[in-house]
Structure 1
Amino acid sequence: MALLELKRASPTLPHTDAAGVIEGYASLFGVADDGRDIVMAGAFTRSLARRGAKGVKMLWQHNAAEPIGVWTSIVEDAKGLKVSGRLDLSIARAREALSLIRGGAIDGLSIGFRVKNARTDKRSGLRRLLEIDLWEISVVTFPMQTLARISAVKKAPLQTPQARNAAFVRLQAQAAAMRFQHRLRMLQSARL
């Protein structure tokens, strides 16, 4: 009687020193985008004061069902909306995004927002966005504002001892579950 075989990849956890930190500009002030909108300096001030970086979601391609990390810093400077965030490498899509970013295939950033105050120039058709309620910033292939780009990909500092301990506990639980499954298969095969 042949024994039941089960082959699977061993569970892997992200390396503690490989968390992808990205930086760049999600929006530039005074620059028309492909939708004929121009974000004006100060447009994000109230929204950022209300939400903070933690209240703005990091998404993949504006898909609300695919968050890929967290924004750790979002500030307005003289140039535009400067952002820094960390991809959550426990999520497959975030690992894919990091690989594409590091390979140069993806480098766009794009904002998802509600317009609170805007003025449209009748002659040019350009809409000046004076106040924006910022909801999300996405890593995208084609940003509406062509200069909104990721400018740096860094390795995050080593995880805290608490995060390393949590990862170790998860790994121990996965190993225990695999041992249990192996024993169960052995008992099942013994009954046959």
Structure 2
Amino acid sequence: MDRAPVLIEGHAALFGVEDLSGDVVRAGAFARSLSRGGVPMLLQHRSGAVAGRWTRLIEDGRGLFVRGLIERPGAQVLVEVGLNGLSIGFRARLWKPRVEGGRDLIDLDLVEISLVAEPMQPGARFSIIGAAARAA
């Protein structure tokens, strides 16, 4: 049976909130990457494990807001049983060390955004919005 894509949305990064490694993403860090577009949706940061596609990526007042369609049946099953974390794969272009440890991330090359079980940023989560209608 052909499954309809699952529509999700949430925040893949939160501005000004320390993650488990001590890194803090600053507002504007994704601006350059977002102007390029083409960020893949992966499963657990595995290269080639495309889970679906992102339909909206924007910086809002809270962080990096994402909306997308999970199209791969295997990824859909994982979401149905509770997978709800988001994690960004990036290269830091501009950062400063933090006195407390970790980095202030000022400019990032966004490489991918993954659906994960345990995000480095515990508040980076998504919710299921619904199933997208399939074209007949």
In the comparison of the two structures, how many residue pairs are matched? 136
Residue 69 of structure 1: CA displacement? 0.8
Higher relative contact order (CA 8 A, sep 6+): 2
TM normalised by structure 2 equals 0.93
Aligned-residue CA RMSD (Å)? 1.3
Between the aligned residues of both structures, percent identity stands at: 46
Q: Which amino acid aligns with 1:112?
A: G
In structure 1, list runs of 5 or more residues that go unmatched: 1-11, 89-93, 165-192
More strand by share: 2
- Correspondences of 1:21-60 after superposition (within 5 Å): 21-50=7-36, 52=37, 55-60=38-43
CA distance in 1, matches of 2:128, 2:70: 13
CA distance in 2, matches of 1:35, 1:95: 32
CA distance in 2, matches of 1:49, 1:115: 17
Q: Deviations over 1:8-29 (max 9, x none)?
A: xxxx4x14xx221111110100
Flag the structure with larger Rg.
1
More helix by share: 1
Runs of 4+ in 1 over 6 A off after TM superposition: none
CA contact (8 A) 2:87 2:124 kept: yes
TM normalised by structure 1 equals 0.67
**Match of residue 143 from structure 1:** 119
CA distance in 2, matches of 1:98, 1:153: 13
CA distance in 1, matches of 2:128, 2:61: 19
Q: Deviations over 1:78-129 (max 9, x none)?
A: 00000011112xxxxx32322222232x1100000110100112x3123100
Q: Does residue 81 in structure 1 map to residue 59 in structure 2?
A: no
Q: Does residue 64 in structure 1 map to residue 34 in structure 2?
A: no
In structure 2, list runs of 5 or more residues that go unmatched: none
